[in-house]
A and B are shown apart, each in its own frame.
Chain A
């Protein structure tokens, strides 16, 4: 009965319930609501499913431990996306450091170029899975700051104002960064449009 009532709560009401009464059911409902959107966001940002799962779990652990840090003046979704975004960026930096270390250790370098991937031809792309992989690969080549905002806007479909709150950047900068990210993607995926 109580669980049914909690399901009708808004996100903000649920986190308040969790804050005030330590109701684990409220937290579990929030996990149910946000686990897939966050996974989608973090996966598109990192491009690694296992790492993405760990980041999303860490996000919920942070919410659980620091539930009192949430202030009711902000939307819960904004708060949790901010946490997930920060953790995803930290993971990305860790991966970059690891990559630099491996280059220094073994003298090998993984080459990345900001040019369209020539390893595929549009006329042989028939499988949607491959196409998705190409898009994901192109997305990962977009600058980190632009990629995060493009994902939040065009994949997660958040408003510019929400993205501004999540990233801590003013709305004008958010719009310009999103457009720059889109321009980079357009250049990287020019062959896919012809399909």
Chain B
């Protein structure tokens, strides 16, 4: 069925619609239209001038600089985050002051040497002048890697035998010091 047949089928409706009076615009239509168009054009100009003023380089550059600075502050200088090493995965810090060279003298040798020196001093002839305090201190310091002035000492756990030998050494040092006083 083509559209001509359709139009015949609904010819009554079509006739009624065609007979409807034409509706026209009011008399003020064009004047009102041009007024609206002109007001729209004016608004557009005002709007554009605002944006052109806002987007002028004099205003835009400082704003852009502030914005860039803010971005840098936000992403580069991140003050909020604190980087923490994982204590389980981090390697322990190496303390250089605690490193002992493999060539250092063992405590036993040290004590033996001091004891020998004490014996030598005790067997020395009375007319023989004793070494000065400075000399003995230097000798002691040269043989010791313990440096209390720099808090550079280490703590060691001694065995019972070592403790006994250390006490013996202390006792002999005290004896040496007493002998030294008596000779004076």
Contacts and interface: CB of A to CB of B under 8 A. Distances in A.
Interface of A: 28, 31-32, 35-36, 39-40, 43-44, 49, 52-53, 56-57, 60-61, 64-65, 132, 135-136, 139, 150-151, 154-155, 157, 160, 175, 178-179, 182-183, 185-186, 189, 192-193
6 closest residue pairs by CB, A with B: A182-B10, A154-B17, A43-B23, A40-B23, A35-B25, A182-B13
Interface stretch (B31-39, B96-104, B118-126): B31-39
Interface in B8-36: 9-10, 12-14, 16-18, 20-26, 29-30, 32-33, 36
B11 to A, nearest CB: 10
B3 interface: yes
Contacts of B13: 154, 182, 185-186, 189
A60 B33 contact: yes
9 contacts: A31-B30, A36-B25, A39-B24, A40-B24, A57-B29, A132-B21, A150-B17, A183-B10, A189-B16
Given A135-B16, A160-B3, A52 B23 contact: yes
Instruction: Classify the interface of chain B: helix, strand, loop or mixed.
Output: helix
Contact of B40 (A61, A151, A155, A193): A61
Contact of A132 (B20, B24, B26, B30): B20
Q: How large is the interface on B (under 10, 10 to 19, 20 to 34, 35 or more residues)?
A: 20 to 34
B6 interface: yes
Contacts of B17: 135, 139, 150-151, 154-155, 185
Given A39-B25, A49-B23, A64-B37, A57 B32 contact: yes
Nearest to A37: B22
Contacts of B3: 160, 175
B25 A56 contact: yes
